[in-house]
Amino acid sequence: MNVRLFVLGIGIAIGYVVGAREGRERYDQMKSTVTKFWESARVAKARVNVEDYARTQGPVLRDRAEAVAKATPGFVAHTAKDVAESVRDVAESATESAKEFVDRASASARDVVGRVTHTATDVRDNATKTAAELRERGESAIDRAVTTAGKARDEALAPLDDDDDEQSAK
C-alpha cells in the first residue's frame, strides 16, 4: 500500500509542477485525469482483488495448518511443511501480482505525465507564437497610427504655412 501511495504522490507532484507552470486549469485537468485513472473500475478492482486475496487466504491457511497440527500428531511435520510451502507460494504470488500491478500503474502514470507534458509544451508554444503575432500586429498598427497622425498634422498645419508664406511675400 505504501508503494501505491508513493506512486500516487509522485504523479500528483509532477502534475502540480507541470500544471503550475501552465496554469491552474491545466493542473486541474491533469489531476482529474490521474484521479480518473486511479479510481477507474479496472484499477480499483485489481487493488481490491489483491488486498482481499491476501487478507482472506492468509488467515485461512494459518487456521488450516493449526487444525491439522492439533488433530494429527504424527502427520504434523509433513502437513506443516506443505502448508508453509503453500503459504510461501501464495505470498510470492500475491507479491508478484502486486508488483505487476504497481509496474503497470507506474507505466501508465509515466505515460500520462508524458502526454500532459507534451500537451503543455504544445500549448506554451502556441501561446508564444500567438503572442509574437499579436506583438507584430500591434507594432504595425502603431506605425500606421503614427503615419496617419503625421499626415493629419501636416494637413492641419498646411493652411497656417500658406498664411505665413503670404505674409512673408507682402
pLDDT by residue (tens digit) across 38-96? 788 887 887 788 778 767 877 876 777 777 667 666 565 676 788 788 888 888 888 88
Q: What angle do CA 7, 8, 11 make, to 5 degrees?
A: 85
**Do 69 and 84 touch, CB atoms closer than 8 A?**
no
Is the pTM higher than 0.75? The answer reads no
**Do 7 and 38 touch, CB atoms closer than 8 A?**
no
pLDDT (average), residues 118-132: 89
Cβ-based burial of 68 (10 A; exposed 0-12, middle 13-18, buried ≥19): middle
Phi and psi at 78, nearest 5°, equal -65, -45
